[in-house]
Amino acid sequence: MESPTSKTAEIDYPLHLIGFEFEDLSSQRVAGHLTVTHKCCQPLKVLHGGVSALLAESLASIGAHIACGYQRVAGFQLSINHLKSAELGDLVYAEATPLNVGRTIQVPTSLALFVSFKF
């Protein structure tokens, strides 16, 4: 895991606590990855749906914050659909990209989670 002074810890401490690492930070793309560990699993050893929501909310909010010139932003709608589970040990890649960047509202923002299965 990253050190306490890592980029992730400075930007979003809850993501840091579950082991998420940023790869790209811009107004057009916020991306990174997370290895599914016991810190982010349900008792059945699959990624907790709340962690998916945390990733979606955090990455979309960070992208909106950058896009609006680092002003305060707030999300007002979040919807999560799970099409495939990620199991303990899998690598999850998360990417948020804006579909529309407006002057006062940036909605919707898409988040894709890609799972790279352990071998």
Active site residues: 57
Instruction: Report the distance separating Cα 51 and Cα 107, nearest Å.
Output: 21
- Which residues, other chains included, contact 108 with Cβ-Cβ below 8 Å and sequence gap of 6+? 77, 99, 100
Residue 53 tokens read as 């929501």
Total Cβ atoms within 10 A of residue 25: 15
SS3 35: strand
Instruction: Report the distance separating Cα 63 and Cα 89, nearest Å.
Output: 27
Give the H or E element holding residue 20. Answer: none
